[in-house]
Amino acid sequence: MIRALLLAASLLAPLPALASVFEHPADAAELARTLAPATAALASAQSLHGRYRQTKQLAGLPAPLVSEGDFLFARALGIAWRTDKPFAAELLITPDALIQRSATGEQRIDAATQPAVRAIAQVFFAVFALDFGRLSATFEPYAMGEGDGRWVLGLLPRERLGALESIEIRGDTSVTQVILREQGGDSTRIDLTQTRISAALAEHDRARFERR
3-state helix, strand, coil in the chain (%, to 5): 25, 45, 30
Q: CA-based Rg of the chain, rounded to a whole angstrom?
A: 17
**Contact between 113 and other proteins per CB under 8 A:** yes
Q: By C-beta, is 20 or 107 nearer to other proteins?
A: 107
3 state SS for 141-188: EEEEEEECCEEEEEEEECCCCCCEEEEEEEECCCEEEEEEEEHHHCEE
**Contact between 91 and other proteins per CB under 8 A:** yes
How far are the Cα atoms of 25, 32, 150 from residue 29, in angstroms, in the given order? 11, 5, 17
Amino acid, res. 108: R
Q: By C-beta, is 86 or 149 nearer to other proteins?
A: 86
What residues from 143 to 172 belong to the interface with other proteins (CB under 8 A)? 158-164
Q: By C-beta, is 16 or 185 nearer to other proteins?
A: 185
What residues from 2 to 41 belong to the interface with other proteins (CB under 8 A)? none
Q: Where along the sequence are the contacts to other proteins (CB under 8 A)?
A: 54, 56, 58-63, 65, 67, 81, 83, 86-87, 89, 91, 93, 96, 98, 100, 109-110, 112-116, 118-120, 123-124, 137-138, 158-164, 180, 182-186, 188
